[in-house]
Amino acid sequence: MNKTVIFKIDGVEVRGKTGQTIMDAADEAHIYIPRLCDVEGLEPQGSCRVCIVKVNGRPAAACTQPAADGIEVENGTLEILNCRRDIIRMLFHEGNHLCPICEASGRCELQAMGYRLGILQPAKYPYLQPVRPIDASHPDILLDTNRCIRCGRCIRASKYIDGKNVFGYVGRGIHKRVGVNGKDFAHTDVHPDDKAIALETCPVGCIIRKGLGFFTPVGQREYDRAPIGSDIENPELRREK
Ligand code: FES
């Protein structure tokens, strides 16, 4: 049986249950911890590190770190904020995220995170401007790996929800990105109704539905209405994407 665990996030008492992660307990307490690779319905993989917090003074990923009695979690300090800003900046710099021409603009979690964290200018890092493949072979879906942030959400959704194995990682180090298990997209068993293809699964504009471009007017898009994380801080804002 799950027992109650009581701990603090930025000095605020939070009640969770054994077996929960810090992020799960924070969500239930309406405290937002930023995240990109973690999404409701999928097992966490702890890879993006945007959810970095300090637990009793030591850095940890809130999406994988278990909630425990008596721990002191730092989530909203300037040090943590700057770590998250650096991670987001690096993602912008190592891919090709051209928001003004991206179909996902306004519902992109990377872009929304940039706004939420107050990133107003480029970082000290160079833009790598990689040239990565675009797979437009499928009649209904397009894969633009220039925008991949390697969150693995499509990989996990395909494997564990769709019961397929459409996606996988290819490359190593900074060349790592998502790819398809097959000659190209058209030669996989992907279906437009797969969870891996659902709008809420890809946090950026890497997986795009053909024929659906720019379907929401500017001003009414997901993150035009409220900043990312608002639905956790205020459940009344929970809406379909
Ligand atoms: Fe925790 Fe990505 S959300 S590591």
Write out pLDDT tens, residues 66-78. Answer: 999 999 999 999 9
| Distance between Cα 177 and ligand 1 center (Å) | 17
| Distance between Cα 187 and ligand 1 center (Å) | 31
Say yes or no to pLDDT of 31 above 90. Answer: yes
Give the C-alpha distances (Å, rounded to integers) separating 128 from 45, 97, 135, 146, 165.
Answer: 26, 11, 21, 11, 30
pLDDT of amino acid 238: 62
Phi and psi torsions of 129, nearest 5°: 45, 60
Q: Which residues line ligand 1 (CB under 6 A)?
A: 35-38, 46-51, 61, 63
In whole angstroms, what is the distance from residue 25 CA to residue 20 CA? 6
| Distance between Cα 194 and ligand 1 center (Å) | 23
When the pLDDT of each residue in the chain is averaged and rounded to a whole number, the result is: 94
pLDDT of amino acid 2: 82
Residue range 83-212 in CATH 3.30.70.20: yes
Secondary structure in 3-state letters for 35-95: CCCCCCCCCCCCCCCCCEEEECCEEEECCCCECCCCCEEECCCHHHHHHHHHHHHHHHHHC
Lowest mean pLDDT among 86-95, 144-153, 210-219: 210-219
Q: Counting atoms of ligand 1 from 1, which one is nearest the CA of 45?
A: 4
Instruction: Return the DSSP state at 3.
Output: P
Each domain of the chain, given as residue ranges in start order, spans 4-76, 83-212
Say yes or no to pLDDT of 125 above 90. Answer: no
Residues 75-101 have a mean pLDDT of: 95
Which option is the CATH number for 4-76: 1.20.120.330, 3.10.20.740, 3.40.190.10, 1.10.1040.10?
Answer: 3.10.20.740
Q: Return the axis-axis angle of helices 78-94 and 109-116, rounded to nearest 10°.
A: 140
Higher pLDDT, 10 or 123: 10
pLDDT of amino acid 63: 98
In whole angstroms, what is the distance from residue 9 CA to residue 71 CA? 9
Say yes or no to pLDDT of 239 above 70. Answer: no
pLDDT of amino acid 213: 82
Close Cβ partners of 66 (under 8 Å, ≥ 6 residues apart): 18, 19, 20, 21, 22
CB atoms inside a 10 Å sphere around CB 50:
26
Say yes or no to pLDDT of 172 above 50. Answer: yes
User: How confident is residue 241, by pLDDT bands cut at 50, 70 and 90?
Assistant: very low
Most informative mutation of 33, 39, 63 for ligand 1 (most atoms within 8 A of CB): 63
Model pTM score: 0.94
In contact, 107 and 69? CB cutoff 8 Å:
no
Say yes or no to pLDDT of 159 above 60. Answer: yes
Handedness of CA 71, 61, 84, 196 (dihedral sign): negative
In contact, 64 and 21? CB cutoff 8 Å:
yes
In contact, 110 and 207? CB cutoff 8 Å:
no
Q: Counting atoms of ligand 1 from 1, which one is nearest the CA of 48?
A: 2
| Distance between Cα 211 and ligand 1 center (Å) | 31
List the alpha helices (DSSP H) in the chain.
22-28, 78-94, 109-116, 153-156, 222-225, 230-233
Instruction: Give the pLDDT confidence of 144-154 residue by residue, as tens digits.
Output: 999 999 999 99
Most informative mutation of 39, 42, 43, 50 for ligand 1 (most atoms within 8 A of CB): 50
- Looking at the chain, the whole-number percentage of residues with pLDDT higher than 90 is 88
Residues 226-230 have a mean pLDDT of: 96
pLDDT of amino acid 230: 96
